[in-house]
Amino acid sequence: MPTIISAAKVIPPYEMNQEKASEFARELFSNSFKDIDRLLKVFQNGQIEKRHFVKNLDWFRQSHSLEEKNDAYIEAAVSLGKEAIEKCVTNRSFLNIPIPFEEIEAIFFISTTGLATPTIEARIMNLLPFHPHTKRIPIWGLGCAGGAAGLSRAYEYCLAFPKAKVLVLSVELCSLTFQHHDLSKSNLIGTSLFADGIACIMICGDNCNLDQIRRKKTSLKIMATQSTLMPDSLEVMGWDIKNDGLYVVFSRDIPSIVESWLRPEVISFLQQNRIKFENLDYFIAHPGGKKVLDAYVKALGIPVSLTDVSLEVLKQYGNMSSATIFYVLKRYLEMDIPHGSYGLCIALGPGFSSEMLLLRWDE
């Protein structure tokens, strides 16, 4: 089975604690909502402590055109995405030897927060010595589910080409979609939650001499994947694309949808792979928000402790859309987890949709 062999993240340069973010939101929204003090409690209730952005706070106090925001997206995505790739292929925490760029057979690029043609991975390939025949698979529009979906598509690629080494690069600069004049509750919630994040994962096929490459005693194999689209749920999550950019669509019903819809999907997926839910050792969840994590616990009947790692990533980084699951996954890769342990990786996104991967640690 294809193996997740390395991971790296890049932290954007500007850190903002949640208290300062709440003060900024008060400046922006106080004239729009009479109950602003009640609404601003979302900044504390979400348990996020700090987030990171590619621009400083003064940048967000001004209005910017779609062109300005997208130019900033391209510039930062190329620079930080390049750094994430370089760190991933040389990360001595996971690798015995650096992996030459020329040996990377394909790059899956995941993003939903900006537009670029040529795409970001093509621009990065002009800066690093990748082989000119490296395959490029940009994936746009899967939102928070995009990271898990990218892993699934890379898994399928490595099944077909077992000698392949593949990168999955996620760049999400959620802050650059911020709409200064959108005084909706959805934008207020988004202001309390979303952040910028960049991460890269490397996956290898079975015929890649893993014993020579990997440093860890056990590696994380992808055993199976499942993508699911919930019918008639297009309005739950996504973007409204308008003249001046992307406007967040974020339904307040997401936690209740998770509670009612997710459990049968998870149980069915595990049954297909002859795994009982109680045999799962780790729950590697995209932390869409504190309420979403609580909904996972309630829907699946799992101990709260299984979401501790996801909650800690949420506290330290916020919701970075598709990149968040890579931050969570990296923490699990850094642990010394026993051979034969099972994990379920899960993320939810627009559609409304879910992406799941069954994982196992093997020597």
Tell me: the pLDDT tens digits for 267-301? 899 999 999 888 899 999 999 889 889 888 988 88
In our burial notation (b when 16+ CB lie closer than 10 A, e otherwise), range 185-218 reads ebbbbbbbbbbbbbbbbbbbbeebeeeebbebeb
Query: If you compute the radius of gyration of the chain from its CA atoms, what whole number of angstroms results?
Result: 20
DSSP code of residue 214: B
Residue 245: beta bridge partners? 242
In this model, does residue 330 exceed pLDDT 80? yes
> The pTM is what?
0.94
Catalytic residue among 88, 144, 158, 208: 144
- Determine the pLDDT at residue 67: 93
Chain segment 156-213, per-residue pLDDT in tens = 999 999 999 999 999 999 999 887 777 777 777 788 889 999 999 999 999 988 888 9
- Determine the pLDDT at residue 48: 94
Place of tokens 């997926």: 269
Mean pLDDT taken over the chain: 91
Q: Which residue has the higher pLDDT, 28 or 55?
A: 55
Catalytic site includes residue 200: no
What CA–CA distance (Å, rounded) separates 200 from 323?
8
Alpha carbon separation from 196 to 53, 60, 164 (Å, rounded): 5, 14, 30
Please tell me whether residue 179 adopts helix, strand or coil conformation: coil
Domains and CATH numbers, the chain: 1-363 (3.40.47.10)
Run of H or E residues at 353:
strand 353-362
